[in-house]
Structure 1
Amino acid sequence: MARSHFARAAAAFANAGLILAALLAALSAIVLAGCAAPLPTTELPPARFIAPVPEFPGLRDYRGIFDFRIGATGLDQAGVADLAKEAQIDFIIPGDRIEPGSSDYGIPGFTSTILFIAGGAFESGGGRIIGVNLHEPIHPDLSTADLISAIRDQGGLAIAAQPAKFTNPADFALADGIEVYNQRDTWLEQSPAALYLRAIFTNTDKFLASLDVRPDVNLAFYDRIAAGARVTMLAGLGAPDDLTVLGSKVGTTPQLMLFYTTHLLARERDQEPLVEALKLGHSYVSFDFLGYVGQFTFFAQTADANTGSKALMGDEVRFAPGMTLKAELPDAADRIAMYQNGAEVASAENARNLEFAPKSAGAYRIEAYRGGHMWILSNPVYVR
């Protein structure tokens, strides 16, 4: 009898072991499904094709990365350029923290086929000011307003990052642009445990989707300022995390280069025209893991479609009867919304175009969504 009880116990123990082994095998399968293919499924063209901007044939649509912290990658500029080439990136603007008195803004010009525009970040007023097109050292003890002036004095642009963290929002009111989204900031706002579990149980696309969160607070800051002044909207990439999950990594530089890009609409791929496009707000952001974006436009059409003038996003145009605001997407979005000074005024479902006749002045911009996540964010057309 004792032996019978012992045999049954042994059998039960063996069965439990088999169940545990099966569970571990299932978990391993999930892990492999989620992490073995590290790159998102962005469908890049066979080779980089720089498309003309719809309705503006004199301009080209250049894909790039803004506020990229090269130092956090462990690579030199040539190594970053190699990865950027694989991701069909045209330009990179660094956002590494600048030490007091330093002028290490990266090496401007072409590294391999990638154009680098000198830049770096300064901690100021509780937030960060990113200088673009810098050449000379900047004194470390300047107020935010004086820092912005010092950046402009050497022909640079000043972009305010982390706007909600500034002690006084008036400190960055004179900035040329506002970084409304940053992958690294979004990552740090989330629970490490939740990030780790998502990395285990989801694939790369779904993991990145959890970081594609509408930046409500920053957009509210932006819309208040843009209602009265021209200011460029940007998204910065920040630094890779390289989170290791059961032998695989997530949040890597190659993944993030395919996550989303900043587009500058310029005459040619050279430093001066790209910096000019950034200053003018001839720019938009695309989250390419939801669908590759090679070209997009948002503009105002005045009077007759054949004889009237067009104003590209970032431009100012005087309000006039018969004006139409038009957004043209490369493919259908689940939802397109148009905002006037932060308030939604028009929308379309399952569409690739949106038209709206404005009734009053304001800063009008576009948000397009797929699967409930941001796909395209445009700069405004300023109707005055």
Structure 2
Amino acid sequence: MTDSLPGSPSGPAGGPGRRLRVLAAMSGGVDSAVAAARAVDAGHEVTGVHLALSANPKSFRTGARGCCTVEDSRDARRAADVIGIPFYVWDLAERFRQDVVEDFIAEYREGRTPNPCLRCNEKIKFAALLDKALALGFDAVCTGHYATVVRTPEGHRELHRSADLGKDQSYVLGVLDERQLAHAMFPLGDTRATKEEIRAEAERRGLAVARKPDSHDICFIADGDTQGFLAGHLGSAEGDILDEEGRKVGTHSGAHGFTIGQRRGLRIGHPAPDGKPRYVLDISPVTNTVTVGPAEALDVVALTAIRPRWCGAAPTGPGRYTAQLRAHGGETPVTAEPDGDTLRVGFAEPVRGVAPGQAIVLYDGTRVVGSATIAATERAGAPVG
């Protein structure tokens, strides 16, 4: 394998020493600003763009914790001015509403737990944005993600973990296919610099975002209250909380307010017979019920996932990999076998906190094999939807 050069995509447009037309997606944060500056340092012709993702930006988070605010747009513009590159704001609010916000609400309505950041990367940054960039004659889209694109001796493009595993963001990029990777540029992925060193670099460059806090939470939920956001869109409907035997142990105001593995906020009036904590085991939007039980009942031994997306050629049979089940989670050994539009995964050891709607991303060493959306899990041989 041959690592791509920092600042150069490993696609047909990219190659050592070639000057590229690069569209830098600038969120208004420090990572995307430094990534854009490094692309300029690499000799590319860079244009900055900030994505306006809300028709009413004040409905999104204000302050420094979001990534879609009026303040972020201004911060991105100031960074582009300092770097010395052209800057534009592109309105993708309607596409974002349809593909990310409405998808998020619909998934919770069906009792699933989606990852909106992963969906945004798939549908917005590397679909809508990339397609528009290519149509305008750009060679690549540059972002501040911590991941690495590698070109093999055969000319294929692969997505790999960041050089600094502590900052790796390949999980939320696992939806990218080889065509998209051929036009993706991640200038921070090859660096082992700490976040403080990235901030120090931003300060040396005169970027005012050097000390801006990292974004957290879901950008389109203005106050960070996910349950309140869902209740506002899905309404409140009282339902039962049941134990594993189907006995009523409490009530709730909406099944959408729960996630698999949740322990806190269950508001069950009396403890379990053994005195141990209870966790959410299942969510049924059809009956508006939530089932709770002991921690060991969360052990998942296998799952079925749908809509696989492969970062290169799809596997042709069963294989051994490691899997990551959440953005900041660790890896676990698995066996996986694709079957058309589904993926069957078995775990070497039981895992917990696995919910339909989440993404599972497969790795072969540091290489991202692909991702899929969890549709159903199996616990002790019994399927749980």
Q: Which band: TM-score by shorter chain?
A: under 0.3
The structure that is strand-richer by fraction is 1
TM-score, with structure 2 as normaliser: 0.27
TM-score, with structure 1 as normaliser: 0.27
